[in-house]
Structures are given as structure tokens and as C-alpha cells.
Structure 1
Amino acid sequence: MQKSPDWGRALVAGVIATVAITLSMLVQGNNIFLALGGMLMPSAGEGMKYVVGGLMHFMIGIVYALVYAAIFTRVQLPSLAKGAIWGVILTVVALVMMPVMSSMLGGGAGNPCNPCNPCAAAANPCSPAANPCASAANPCNPCAQNPCATAKNPCNPCAGAANPCAQASNPCAGAGNPCNPCGGSGGGAAGYVWSLIHHLVYGLVLAFVYKE
């Protein structure tokens, strides 16, 4: 006789697993509550962003746990193997859906995923179109004794740690960008690895607690 999902246990496991992935993200420097809250309510205060982002995060975590119970209760594999498989699946889902979600919810000038924000090309001081350091009528021309020239130029992407347009401290870079689903410790391959780690933490904790 096939087992039926234990929805109550799945719900509890989902809450605990969501706490685990939240802590994993915080260790990396990724505040998922604030990131999600900023996407959903870009013009709200920080406290409201935390509340809305936290509710959204836990809702997603619980839904994923219920789906896990529906799919994997009847699968004949060790619990931790099922949790690892679920973690990999959720990593793929996150990498596909987060950019879509951020573009769909990209309303409001305060939203870091919104085209009106200072990271977007049109209003970006590092963008040639709106760049006060552009060559045409530029008081910051590199030929002058100019504080914007090479070494201290905020529009020079090669200008080191103090440069707001450099990758290391750029709010548009992967490191702290909630538009990047792997944000918190850099983009690219490292970001994908971090995303996998976080979702494996979620999947393994979920499977351990659920233990059908």
C-alpha cells in the first residue's frame, strides 16, 4: 500500500527548512527578506519590506515543502537523497524564475530591479547617455586636472575599490543585488554554486524533518 503525504508534518518541515535556508543566506550576506520586500514593495519603509519579504519567503518555503511531500512521499529512495534531488530542482527553478519575477514586479523608482533605478542605463551616472564625465561637454575631462580622471573617476570601471562603478562595490553588481538570485557573494559561477548550496540546505533539512 502506498503512503499518503503527511501534510501537517510537511508544513512543519517547510517552516524549519525555510529558517535553515534563511540562515544559510545570511551567512553568505544575502538578506532575502529585504530583497523580496524591495521587489514587492519598493517604495515601502525598511520595516514593511522585512515583513512582506519574510511572509513571501516563508510562503514559498511552505509551498515547496507541500509539493515535495506530494511528489516524494511515494518515491523509494533514502530521505537525504530525495532532499538533495529536491534541492537541485529548486536551484534550477530559482535561477529561471527569479529574473522573471524581478522584471514582472519591477515597479517603482526605489526598486533595484526597476529600470528607473540608479543601476539602470538611462539614469545611471556611469552610463554614457547621462554621464557627467562623458567627453562632449565634460568639466571632468581626463585631460584636465580633474577629480574624475582615471584614478578617482567614478565613471571609470577600472578605478578600484572606492569606485561606485567598479564591480566590488557596485550596487548593480552581483554581490548585493537582489535582482541576482545568487547575490550576496558575487555573480557568475560562484553565484550559481551559492544558490545550489542554499537550496541543498533547504532540501536536506526538509527531508530530514519530514522523514516519511
Structure 2
Amino acid sequence: MTVDRARVSALVRELLEAIGEDPERPGLRQTPERVADAYVEFFAGVGADAAAPLAHTISVASGPAPETIPSGAVMVRDIAFRSICEHHLLPFRGRAHLAYLPGEQVVGLGALARVVDILSSRPQVQERLGEQIADAIATSLDARGVLVVLDAMHECVTMRGARQTESTTVTIAARGELAEPAARAELVTLLGGAR
């Protein structure tokens, strides 16, 4: 699905009028088009297949040591993401930390960041975002377990309402062997060193 830029622009113009502003004043004249351009970026993940980046896997059993299967987790920390809260249409941004226990197949590490980008580029809530990332990895790879930790700052908390300017929200989603807290304790400890 693509964002209807003309419609977004017209609606932003109407919104400016609804708040008592003049969309023709010099500072606002280009705002409707700018917002439409921003929404094309912000919502590029709407309708996109989040599992597509995980389609190309690499067999670790077909390399120079074919009997070698990873015994531990593959972890990618500090994947920067941004999204739009579906409740207030305000941004939230943070870091995603992903880990999975691979089977015979692994995936390029950049593919994990692309999954985060696709799923965060749509109206979201952080709780669902983490679950969707975990589901995409768990169903697309032969992973024995998946762990997703998101740490984000929400503008709906920092700029309005409670106005807690330093507050962050941490969510955890886990699948398979990492679903039990004791099984993921080591990985959560490793994440403690995340920036």
C-alpha cells in the first residue's frame, strides 16, 4: 500500500484550519506537502511483508565445518527504530535488541534490522511491535528460540499528559526455548550492557 500524498496534504491543510491557523501564511504554506512526504517514510511498512528480509538464509551446516551447529544465541543489539503511536499519532523511538537460537539456518544480520524497520514503519504500539518482530523471526527461521527487547521513549508520555521527559518503556517478547524467564536470563544480562 502506498500513502495517498495528495489526500494527506489536503487533510493537513484542513487540520491547520481546524486549529485556527492560516495554511497560506509563509511558514505553513509548504507544511501539508512536507507532512505528506514524512508520512510516506513513516508508514512505508503498511502492507509490507516483514518476513521478506528473512527469506534468504545461510546454512551453517554446509560450510567448512559441516558438523558445526551454533550452540548459543545470535544477538544484535542497539537497532535504532522509530515509529508512530497509533493512539496519538506521535512518534516513539528507541532501540531494539534481538536474539535467536539458530538451527541449521542463520540469516544475514542486516535482515533483522530490516524486519524491525518494516514493522515499526506503520501505526503501532510498542507491545505489539515486539510481538510482531518475534513472530516474524520465529516463523521465518528454524530458530529454537527468539527474544526481542524494545526500549523506547514515547512522545505521548514525554510531551503531553504525564510529561515525563526522561521516561522510557521496556517490553519483552519471547518465543520457543527463550519463552521461560530462566532460559533468557543470560541474554537479558548481556543486554544490560546495551547503550
Bin the TM-score by the shorter chain. under 0.3
Indicate the structure with greater strand content.
2
Indicate the structure with greater helix content.
1
The structure with the largest alpha-carbon Rg is 1
The alignment's TM-score, normalised by the length of structure 2, stands at: 0.28
Q: Which has the higher contact order (CA 8 A, sep 6+)?
A: 1
